[in-house]
Amino acid sequence: MDAMRTTYLEEANDLLSNLERALLALETNANDKSYIEEVFRVMHTLKGNSSMFGLPVIAEFVHDLETIYDKIRLGEMQLSKELLDCTFSCLDHLKIIIHDSDLSNPVNKNNHETLIHQITNFINQKGLSTGKQEQANSEHTLKTYHIYFEPHASIFNNGTNPLFLISELAAMGVSKMIPHFKVPEENQEFASESCFTYWDIYLETEKNDKDLMDVFVFVEDSSKIEITELGSLDLVNNKEFDAFINRGIYKHVKTDLEEIKAFAGKLQELSSGKTETAETVKTTELKSVKKEKVEKTISSIRVSSDKLDELMNLVSELVTTQAGLSLFAANNKITELEVITENVEKLSRRLRDIAFGMTLVPINNMFGRFQRMVRDVSGVLGKEIEFLTEGGETELDKTIIETLTDPLMHILRNSLDHGIERAEEREAKGKSRSGKVVLKAFYSGVFVYIQIVDDGKGIDVDAVRSKAISKGIIKSTDFLSEKEIFDLIFYPGFSTAQKVTDVSGRGVGMDVVKRNITDLKGTILVESKIDEGTTLTIKLPLTLSIIDGLLVVIDHVNYIIPLSVITKCYAVNNKDMMGSFNNLLILDEEQVPFIHLRDEFGYSSMPNAQSQMIVVNNGERKVGISVDTIIGEYQAVVKPLGKYYTKQDFVSGASILGDGTIALVLDTNKLIELFIKKIQTEEKSWQLN
Amino acid sequence: MATKLIRDEKTEATKSFLSFKLAEEHFAIEVMKIMEILEVPKITKVPHAPDFLKGVVNLRGGVLPVIDARIKFGLQPIEMTVDTCILVLSIGLNDETVTVGAMVDSVSEVFEMEEKYIQPSPSIGSKYRADFIQGMIKEKDQFMMLLDIDKVFTSQDLEAILEPKTENQVA
């Protein structure tokens, strides 16, 4: 039963994230039928799964949702912003109740009932709209007006009944009347003979505004009457429009006419012929993309990550054994054996490539979540944000993707919160009203780059600098390059100031982001221009489990140094190293501090006369690391050392060589850190003595 | 149903144990915890690691950390002989299962014993930490200590034991 439940949850999670993706796509392309189909299909599958696994509560809930989208699919209902919002809340609710299918938590139960109520409302609404829709569609010469009618309180005194006026208006066409009620002020007595009612009227009619004004001819002096033409569209029956004007009704919020006009204009633009062609092009384009996606889902199957890990282990073992075989064949010149060995070598290499490729997953899986977050956050912040993703098909190791989600989420949120300005502010600067945030991923060599580009206000270099000075991170006399100043935002504690937003806002928890990225053996780079925006570039290795390294030997023990940090290798005489003052060597006319690994790791045997000095990058500076001999380049499958060696973090893992022995993979940055720390404590004890 | 009940009773009552030697002392571990017994392969030492961590070995493509069980129990480090071998143990460490190798002087035998014959260990005056010992077993006139390996080989305990020693090294 447990295994079944896990399967269900796995599938449900997948389905829900598919649903989220489809809904987000639907929100931006409301006219695209294919997304509606997708939404419907996902809901249908989820319903089926839920009832199959004996979860009637979820099944029924999804069934109701599905009914709505079925109607939309068949054109019996129209998609509205309200409905989408409701669907998103349902989605969030589903994410929770798949773990609580009995609604044992009262909060869930409460939410459940509220949502069901909302859904039923939507389903019932459809009955009203279908009939009129067709009728309205045939009338195109009509115009829609908005009439604001607020009779004077004493209107009843001269014998006028405002309801007669209203019904006169109603007779002129299709209308929607929204009455509002003025609440008498606190110490004012309720006067039964006064009028407290006023109306927002949406009227679709062939008559012109003069005709409409005529209705109010007897009361126009004492009442407030505003007639506005909204457009030639049949707005009254338009579901989207309806939803739009209905928003504030129950909250007694006065509808903003400007907003309604703008919305009506937008609707009109959408349905006008001019944009239609563009729209259809877009639709076909999207369809082709979608088709590809469908094919993909069919051709992929679910494999548990445990099995994959096991496969990876076996494959690397095979590669190791194969290396042993090659060695044996080379030593025992048997022609047949050599042929076989060569074949095995080819096969195992291909097998290895495929096995490692399997643990790579497209970044897209992660992008979906961001889309949702951007939608929600921009709603909360009240900013207009256009969020684009590129290169979602770029593949990365699954463990990297998991670890990457949080830091990226953080960076994005910062971009939205502090980077992008409010619409008015942007307009004043001569930028487009809506801010743009682009999340892109692409390959370059053995690295994957992930960029978050925004066109917001950028980071103020001077502000960051002065803040760093005030926090005592740098001295006012320090001269820092722009890059170094940007790097300050990653300084732990930089973020703890209360008013980070005043500076740049890029500081909140960025030290954690940086640490996460560094843990993934990645780097992060900030570029920013005031008022033009900020670009954060994260550079990551494709996978953590396989690296290009340099195989070296110290006293018969193998070590691997990642090729990515190495700049150059030199042969040096041990004499020079021993005699060097302060562990400094002159290499290529440059002073390079070095670490004598043989000493450092405590090997007591006599070294050869010559050592190899490997110069590696340590941030901005170069540091030499001495080893006995260099064997050559080696593609290493890196395995973790396990829980027992957590304090030896200068070893980032181990790799098994062809002959079955283990080589330790060195993390040179950590090694240098350790060395510096050791020297510092030594210096301290010197001073004490 | 009935057969199952009988089997349950049986497994509850008797367990299999493996006995091994460290210096001149006899110890026992539940066989269930032991995955395999290895000859000592080439061990790669990790620099700057505490003494009891012998290094890592290649266990069919995986990396297995190896612990010198003698140092762990405060004895002299193991001297390699033909009998020296590594017990590959599967232990529970903070809700996770971790595989670790324990190097011992020699393994003796596998025997079955009813649980009721496991005697509580006399904790006073013992030179080993009492909570590492699950109990005492007497097999063929030989007393041996039954180890609670989940406790013995958790890294926290390892640190706790070795902390004073590492301090001495620094000083």
- First-to-last alpha carbon distance for chain A, in angstroms, is 69
What number of other Cβ atoms are within 10 A of residue A682's Cβ? 10
Q: Which residues of A touch B93 (CB under 8 A)?
A: 643
Looking at residue A57, what is its pLDDT?
Answer: 85
Mean pLDDT of A583-608: 82
- Retrieve residue A50's tokens: 């839920």
Looking at residue A491, what is its pLDDT?
Answer: 79
CA atoms A345, A347, A348, A350: torsion sign: positive
CB contact under 8 A, A643 and B155: yes
Looking at residue B142, what is its pLDDT?
Answer: 81
Between residues 118 and 157 of chain B, which touch chain A (CB distance below 8 Å)?
Answer: 155
Residues 6+ apart with CB under 8 A from A41: none
Q: Which residues of B touch A644 (CB under 8 A)?
A: 53, 65, 67, 100, 155, 158
Instruction: Read off the pLDDT of residues A133-179 as tens digits, 9 standing for 90 and up.
Output: 434 444 446 677 888 888 877 777 777 778 877 887 877 777 778 88
Percent of the residues in chain A that have a pLDDT greater than 90, as a whole number: 5
Find the DSSP H helices in A420-554: 423-428, 461-470, 482-487, 500-503, 510-519
The yes-or-no verdict on residue A126 having pLDDT over 60 is no
Q: Determine the Cα–Cα distance for residues A515 and A407; give it in Å rounded to an integer.
A: 9
Distances (CA, A) of A429 to A220, A374, A452, A459, A650: 44, 23, 22, 16, 49
Q: Which residues of A touch B60 (CB under 8 A)?
A: 317
> How far away is chain A from the Cα of B23, in angstroms, using its nearest Cα?
24
Considering only residues A255 and B118, tell me which one the structure prediction assigns the higher pLDDT: B118
Q: From the list A313, A602, A643, which residue is nearest B98 (CB)? A: A643
Q: From the list A639, A646, A648, which residue is nearest B63 (CB)? A: A639
**Residue type at B21 in one-letter notation:** K
Segments in chain B below pLDDT 70: 1-12, 94, 122-131, 154-171
The yes-or-no verdict on residue A294 having pLDDT over 70 is no
The yes-or-no verdict on residue A674 having pLDDT over 90 is no
The yes-or-no verdict on residue A372 having pLDDT over 50 is yes
- Main-chain dihedrals φ then ψ at residue B135, nearest 5 degrees: 170, 180
Looking at residue B103, what is its pLDDT?
Answer: 92
Percent of the residues in chain A that have a pLDDT greater than 70, as a whole number: 85
pLDDT grade for A596, boundaries at 50, 70 and 90: confident
Looking at residue A579, what is its pLDDT?
Answer: 67
Residue A145 near residue A211, CB atoms below 8 Å: no
Looking at residue A185, what is its pLDDT?
Answer: 66
Looking at residue B56, what is its pLDDT?
Answer: 92
> How far away is chain A from the Cα of B106, in angstroms, using its nearest Cα?
24
CB contact under 8 A, A644 and B41: no
Looking at residue A281, what is its pLDDT?
Answer: 43
Mean pLDDT of A533-562: 85
Instruction: Read off the pLDDT of residues A226-246 as tens digits, 9 standing for 90 and up.
Output: 887 777 666 777 777 777 777
Best A637, A645, A650, A671 member to test B by mutation, with max B CBs in 10 Å, is A645
Looking at residue A272, what is its pLDDT?
Answer: 55
Looking at residue A251, what is its pLDDT?
Answer: 54
Mean pLDDT of A272-285: 44
Q: How many residues are given for chain B?
A: 171
pLDDT grade for A615, boundaries at 50, 70 and 90: very high
Q: Determine the Cα–Cα distance for residues A128 and B26; give it in Å rounded to an integer.
A: 87
> How far away is chain B from the Cα of A600, in angstroms, using its nearest Cα?
9
- A610 backbone φψ class: left, alpha, beta (φ>0; ψ -120 to 50): beta
Mean pLDDT of A578-591: 77
Burial of A392 (0-12, 13-18, 19+ CB in 10 A): middle
Mean pLDDT of A81-109: 84
Instruction: Read off the pLDDT of residues A280-293 as tens digits, 9 standing for 90 and up.
Output: 444 444 444 444 44
Instruction: Read off the pLDDT of residues A491-531 as tens digits, 9 standing for 90 and up.
Output: 777 754 444 443 333 444 788 888 888 878 788 888 888 88
Q: Which residues of B touch A651 (CB under 8 A)?
A: 46-47
Looking at residue A233, what is its pLDDT?
Answer: 65
The answer to whether residue B78 neighbours chain A at the CB level (below 8 Å) is: no
Q: From the list A314, A645, A663, which residue is nearest B49 (CB)? A: A645
The yes-or-no verdict on residue A433 having pLDDT over 70 is yes
Residue A391 near residue A43, CB atoms below 8 Å: no
Q: Measured in whole angstroms, how far is the alpha carbon of residue A131 from the centre of its chain?
A: 42
The model's pTM is 0.53
Distances (CA, A) of A98 to A6, A36, A55, A66, B31: 11, 23, 9, 17, 41
Considering only residues A426 and A191, tell me which one the structure prediction assigns the higher pLDDT: A426
pLDDT grade for A302, boundaries at 50, 70 and 90: confident
- Retrieve residue A317's tokens: 């073992």
Looking at residue A263, what is its pLDDT?
Answer: 72
Looking at residue A551, what is its pLDDT?
Answer: 92
Q: Which residues of B touch A351 (CB under 8 A)?
A: none
Looking at residue B130, what is its pLDDT?
Answer: 65
**Closest Cα to residue A671, out of A645, A655, A641, A648?**
A648
Looking at residue A552, what is its pLDDT?
Answer: 93
Q: Which residues of A touch B48 (CB under 8 A)?
A: 601, 647-648, 650, 674
The radius of gyration of chain B from alpha carbons, rounded to an integer in Å, stands at 17
CB contact under 8 A, B58 and A648: no
Mean pLDDT of A270-289: 46
